Amino acid sequence: MTGSGIFNQVMFWLFAVMAVAPGFGILLAKDIVRQAFWLLLSLVGFAGLYLHLGADFLGFIQVLVYIGGILILFLFGVMLTYRMDVPLKEVKGWGLVFPGIIAGILTASALLYVASRTPWNAAAKATAPTVSAVGSRVMSTFILPFEVISMVLLVALIGATYIARRKEDKGRSEE
């Protein structure tokens, strides 16, 4: 995709709004399940943006891992910790709101200033299917990070199952 043409622009703006707008939903929704579904919409928007950038493999990985894995994990976490009788207090006084807004505005201005004022050496390249290129790059240039991140994932998942497992007898002082 060359980035010109009305179809590309419409697609970009559609996915951009789909990626940004659910952030407000997550910020403002009362219910944690509604927040999770806003997050789903945002992740779909990001997958569309990846596809629009020509990263087809990454777009589908985004759908598979984020929406199929992480979001379902979130919903399980909500299911296991949801209590109707104890409503969370969402904002603890005004002491947290104004620092949050000020920090958000400062972060946004800094990022947008840098993004719009820096003369990036930007030129879009032609896109082709990236699956084989990504695979050979992972297995050649990025082989060490690939092995390290495999180990990190294995250790993290074993640790997560160890931490989250139900302790049968809490009286024993082993844990």
Residue 143 as a binder of another protein (CB under 8 A): the answer is no
Least distance between another protein and beta carbon 169 (Å) = 14
Residues 31-70 interacting with another protein (rule: CB under 8 A): 32, 35-36, 39, 42-43, 46, 49-50, 52-55, 57-58, 61-62, 65-66, 69-70
84 lies in the binding site for another protein (CB under 8 A): no
Q: What is d(CA 76, CA 31) in angstroms, rounded to the nearest whole number?
A: 15
Footprint of another protein on 88-117 (CB under 8 A): 88-92, 96-97, 99-101, 103-105, 107-109, 111-113, 115-117
Which residue in the set 7, 84, 163, 168 belongs to the binding site for another protein (CB under 8 A)?
A: 163
* Rounded Cα distance, 38 and 29, in Å: 9
For residues 2 and 124, the answer to whether their CB atoms sit within 8 Å is yes
Cα distance between residue 144 and residue 136, in whole Å: 13
**x-marked contacts with another protein along 4-33 as a string, rule CB under 8 A:** xx--xx--x---x--xx--xx-xxx-x-x-
Among 7, 95, 121, 169, binds another protein (CB under 8 A): 121
Q: Does 144 bind another protein (CB under 8 A)?
A: no
Provide the residue type at 73 as one letter: L
Which contiguous run of DSSP H or E holds residue 87?
none
Please report, as a single letter, which amino acid is at residue 99: P
Residue (of 143, 137, 119) closest to 55 by Cα position: 137
Only one residue has tokens 């929406």, namely 67
